């Protein structure tokens, strides 16, 4: 093999080739090699700048390089990063208390820290087994993670089928269909698991009446109501949690993405002593669970959201985005779905992959979450001017995507 390179070392292409020779290809070929970020902006290894409207998939709540997160994590890593759950730390206890406070959880509630969303969902599944029942009801379009337990709740067949058989007794019902839910939930149901907004399905919002009906139906049969807030939680919808708008009190919620602002932490929160008492000493655990480093990150995320008034900001930015896209009055745009800063721009044809590619060339990161939907889950600190930059560029991006789709069709024999 020749030692000469066509491309300079450490260029995008060279690193992506090395990636494909060293990582299991589950993510396909990454779109870019990124190097650093600041606020809602990231830079690739060629120095090209992008407005990051993906936000690490709703993870980078405070954006990149936020001084509060940098300071909290730097201080904590210099003190101690990890200690095991034979011991606890001040930051772990404080984070649990703060999570319970913002969730409005009653006395006797509790937190189990996990390391990811899927693991938080695993905790919820184990919790549900402690009811003595095995039935689980989830929604069509649902995404609850990729570990084998959580995967059974995830709806997409292409994710599940290569790994069958998964845990049994899972029923998927049409989302937002109260009658279907009533019909599926019985005295054999351990838990109903629902997202307040289905992020991976393209920001499809639960009707508050649907969540209230889910509360009523589960209470009637003695099943748990688990709300998966992995994507919607921690301010993403403009409330601390997506369920809060409906006024219900769930039995448990699962958290992850935004909680650590980029550090890997998840949580299962159980509401009230009856539910919290279902898991007893020795029945669950995890080595990294809520270690001081990730707990310090979580505390700085929560305190910064409060200090910077980000819940109101998210609400305002979400409304602004909807209004700005509507004002384009673009014939190819059907509308904007979602809540807060969990949004999808819905197109009238399957152009989202082309739009996302054109956006990347033009310096915007967005996610083609469905063939006809572009998901925007930017950092909660994104500004009006930053959102306006993208909305102003959108007609040209759609035009580019349309042109390349037409050209591709003409070249197909």
What is the binding site for ligand PLP (CB under 6 A)? 116-118, 121, 143-145, 195, 199-200, 228, 230-231, 256-257
Beta carbon of residue 4, minimum distance to ligand PLP (angstroms, whole number): 41
Nearer residue to ligand PLP within complex by CB, 125 or 321:
125
- CA dist 4 and 101 (Å) reads 60
Would the annotation count 89 as a binding residue?
no
- The distance from CA 248 to its chain's CA centroid, rounded to whole angstroms, is 21
Q: Which of 52, 228, 239, 251 is catalytic?
A: 228
Nearer residue to ligand PLP within complex by CB, 42 or 118:
118
Nearer residue to ligand PLP within complex by CB, 238 or 242:
242
Beta carbon of residue 250, minimum distance to ligand PLP (angstroms, whole number): 14
- Contact indicator for 172, 155 with CB cutoff of 8 Å: yes
- CA dist 98 and 145 (Å) reads 25
Which of 394, 382, 393 has its CA nearest to residue 38? 382
- CA dist 387 and 381 (Å) reads 11
Nearer residue to ligand PLP within complex by CB, 266 or 292:
266
Beta carbon of residue 169, minimum distance to ligand PLP (angstroms, whole number): 20
Would the annotation count 146 as a binding residue?
yes
- Contact indicator for 224, 252 with CB cutoff of 8 Å: yes
Nearer residue to ligand PLP within complex by CB, 199 or 292:
199
**Per residue in 16-54, is it b (16+ CB within 10 Å) or e — as a string?**
eeeeeeeeeeeeeeeebbbeebebbbbbbeeeeebbbbb
> Is 126 assigned a catalytic role?
no
> Is 409 assigned a catalytic role?
no
Would the annotation count 117 as a binding residue?
yes
Would the annotation count 231 as a binding residue?
yes
- CA dist 390 and 382 (Å) reads 12
Nearer residue to ligand PLP within complex by CB, 121 or 351:
121
- CA dist 6 and 13 (Å) reads 10
Q: Which of 52, 112, 113, 143 is catalytic?
A: 143
> Is 75 assigned a catalytic role?
no
Residues 6+ apart with CB under 8 A from 110: 96, 100, 269, 270, 276
Would the annotation count 228 as a binding residue?
yes
Beta carbon of residue 96, minimum distance to ligand PLP (angstroms, whole number): 19
Would the annotation count 229 as a binding residue?
yes
- CA dist 57 and 172 (Å) reads 25
**End-to-end CA gap in the chain:** 37
43 three-class SS: strand
Q: Which of 241, 243, 257, 364 is catalytic?
A: 257
Beta carbon of residue 361, minimum distance to ligand PLP (angstroms, whole number): 27
Tokens of 394: 């959108």
Q: Are strands 342-347 and 333-339 parallel, antiparallel or unpaired?
A: antiparallel
- CA dist 49 and 36 (Å) reads 10
Binding residues for N(2)-acetyl-L-ornithine: 146, 286
Binding-site residue numbers for pyridoxal 5'-phosphate are 117-118, 143, 228-231, 287
Active-site positions? 143, 228, 257
């Amino acid at each position: 093999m020749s030692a000469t390179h066509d491309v300079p070392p450490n260029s995008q292409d060279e690193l992506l080739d090395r990636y494909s020779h060293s990582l299991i290809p589950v993510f396909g070929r990454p779109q870019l090699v990124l190097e650093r970020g600041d606020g809602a902006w990231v830079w690739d290894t060629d120095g090209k700048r992008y407005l990051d409207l993906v936000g690490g998939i709703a993870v980078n709540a405070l954006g990149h390089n936020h001084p509060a997160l940098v300071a909290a994590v730097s201080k904590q890593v210099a003190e101690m990063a990890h200690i095991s759950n034979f011991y606890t730390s001040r930051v772990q206890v404080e984070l649990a208390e703060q999570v319970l406070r913002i969730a409005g959880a009653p006395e006797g509630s509790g937190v189990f820290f996990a390391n990811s969303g899927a693991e938080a969902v695993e905790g919820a599944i184990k919790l549900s087994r402690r009811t003595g029942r095995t039935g689980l009801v989830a929604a069509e379009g649902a995404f609850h993670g990729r570990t084998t337990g959580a995967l059974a709740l995830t709806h997409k067949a292409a994710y599940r089928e290569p790994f069958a058989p998964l845990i049994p007794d899972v029923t998927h019902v049409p989302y937002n269909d109260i009658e279907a839910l009533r019909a599926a939930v019985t005295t054999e149901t351990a838990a109903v698991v629902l997202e307040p907004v289905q992020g991976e399905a393209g920001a499809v919002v639960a009707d508050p009446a649907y969540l209230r009906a889910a509360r009523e139906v589960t209470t009637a049969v003695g099943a748990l109501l688990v709300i998966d807030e992995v994507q919607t939680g921690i301010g993403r919808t403009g409330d601390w949690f997506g369920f809060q708008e409906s006024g219900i009190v769930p039995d448990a919620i699962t958290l992850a993405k935004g909680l650590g602002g980029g550090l890997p932490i998840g949580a299962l929160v159980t509401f009230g002593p009856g539910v919290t008492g279902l898991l007893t000493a020795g029945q669950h655990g995890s080595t990294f669970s809520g270690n001081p480093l990730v707990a310090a990150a979580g505390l700085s995320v929560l305190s910064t959201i409060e200090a910077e008034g980000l819940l109101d900001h998210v609400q305002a930015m979400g409304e602004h985005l909807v209004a700005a896209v509507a004002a384009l009055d673009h014939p190819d745009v059907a509308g904007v779905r979602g809540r807060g800063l969990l949004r999808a721009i819905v197109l009238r044809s399957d152009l989202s992959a082309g739009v996302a590619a054109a956006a990347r060339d033009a310096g915007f990161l967005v996610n083609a979450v469905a063939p006809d939907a572009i998901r925007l889950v930017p950092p909660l600190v994104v500004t009006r001017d930053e959102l306006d930059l993208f909305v102003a560029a959108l007609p040209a991006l759609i035009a580019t995507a349309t042109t390349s789709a037409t050209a591709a069709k003409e070249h197909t024999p």
